[in-house]
Amino acid sequence: MILAQYIGAIIVGYLVGSIPFGVLVSRVSSRVDVRDYGSGKTGATNVLRTSGRKAALLVVLLDILKGSLAVVFAGLIVGGSDLVVGDLTLREVVAHSGAALAAVVGHIWPVFLKFRGGRGVATFFGGLAALSLLAAVIGAVILLAAMALTRFASVGSMAGAAGAFAVLLLLTLLGGSPVEYLAYSLAGALLIIAMHRDNIGRLLAGT
């Protein structure tokens, strides 16, 4: 029964993450397919290129919402158990983490777009905000600061994800956060860095 609930939470998280808001918003606002431009990704950075700031901001908010909703739905699916971690049950902690990561995976490899999506940054932070608001806020500040200093969204994204992981690591060591949330932040950060490997190559080449 518990395994079925975990699987259900992960499937729902993945499907929520797969909703292609970047494609939908760009089609409605500019009548274009964002995948035909720039990097070919469906995230807000590419929407900014095709449809402007308002559309890009809307996509950021919607993609953040995907990560947070995945956690909310996971909590509804698994219910409670006897073993408690802080204010949450162990069952909820595991389901939250798995569903949040599934949402990031869904954003990157969405079933509705033949597994070609975005880089998962906003959805990662949405899931993180539902798990640890402090880590999400600090990570977002690092993201914006790095982006402002370097003028590269890719650098900001990777720095923000790494910073969020560092905050979760500290919180976990201090006993203020479950290790499952740390695992989510690590896996999410590694996914985000991997999805920016083309940008990393260009940055190293100075192009």
Q: Is the pLDDT of residue 47 over 70?
A: yes
pLDDT at 84: 42
Q: Give the mean model confidence (pLDDT) for residues 137-163.
A: 96
Q: What is the pLDDT of residues 68-94, one digit of tens each?
A: 999 999 999 987 544 444 556 788 899
Would you say 47 and 21 are in contact if contact means Cβ atoms under 8 Å apart? Answer: no
Task: Spell out the residues 6+ positions from residue 40 whose beta carbon is closer than 8 angstroms to its own.
Answer: 46, 116
